[in-house]
Amino acid sequence: MKFHFQILTQGRKNLLNLLKPFELDQLNHIPDGFRNNLVWHLGHVIVSQQVLCYQLSGLACTVPVDLIERFRRGTVPTGEVSLKEVNQLKQLAIDTVERFKDDYRQGIFREFQSYQSLFGVKLQGIEDAVVFNNTHEGLHLGYVMTMRKLLPAN
C-alpha cells in the first residue's frame, strides 16, 4: 500500500501545482463544453476520497459535511468559490492525505460496504478503494490539465 499512498500524495501535489498560476476568477471559470471548473475538481477529489474510504468503511469523513454536499459526485458549481475557500481546499488536499495515511496505519478501516463504481468495478475493501481513488483522481487531474488551456487570460 505504501506505493499507492505515494501515488495519492504525488497526485495531489501535481494537482496543486497545476492550479498555482491561476487567479480566483480563472479557478471559478467554467469553460465552454464543461459542467465544472478547476476549483470544483479540487474539491471533488478531496470529497470523493473521503466518501470512498471513510464513508464506505462506516467512519465519519474528516472534512466538513457542507464540502461533501458541494463537491460530491453529480454536483456542479452553484456559485463562486471565495479565496478563503480555495485556500481551505488547498490545505485539505494535503491534510486529508496525511490523516488518511495515519488512519490506515492505525488500522481503523475494519469494515467496508462493497460499492459498484460507475467505472465498472466493484470495490470490496479499503485497499480496493485506495487503488480506485487513485484512478479517479488521475481522471480529474486530466480534466484539469485540459481545462486550464481553455481559461481566459488574466
Is the model's pLDDT at 73 over the cut of 80? yes
Are the C-beta atoms of residues 41 and 144 closer than 8 Å to each other? yes
Quote the number of domains for the chain. Answer: 1
The pLDDT of residue 115 is 97
The pLDDT of residue 57 is 98
The pLDDT of residue 88 is 98
Mean per-residue pLDDT, 103-120:
96
SS (H, E, C) 99-119: HHHHHHHCCCCCCCCCEECCC
Is the model's pLDDT at 153 over the cut of 90? no
The pLDDT of residue 152 is 82
Report DSSP state, residue 34. -
Q: How far are the Cα atoms of 23, 40, 85 from residue 139, in angstroms, in the given order?
A: 23, 14, 23
Domain with 50 in it: 2-150
pLDDT tens-place string over residues 7-49: 999 999 999 999 999 999 999 999 999 999 999 999 999 999 9
The pLDDT of residue 59 is 98
Residue 14 is part of a domain; what is its CATH number?
1.20.120.450
Name the pTM for this structure: 0.96
- Crossing angle of helices 2-19 and 126-147, rounded to 10°: 20
Is the model's pLDDT at 154 over the cut of 90? no
The pLDDT of residue 67 is 97
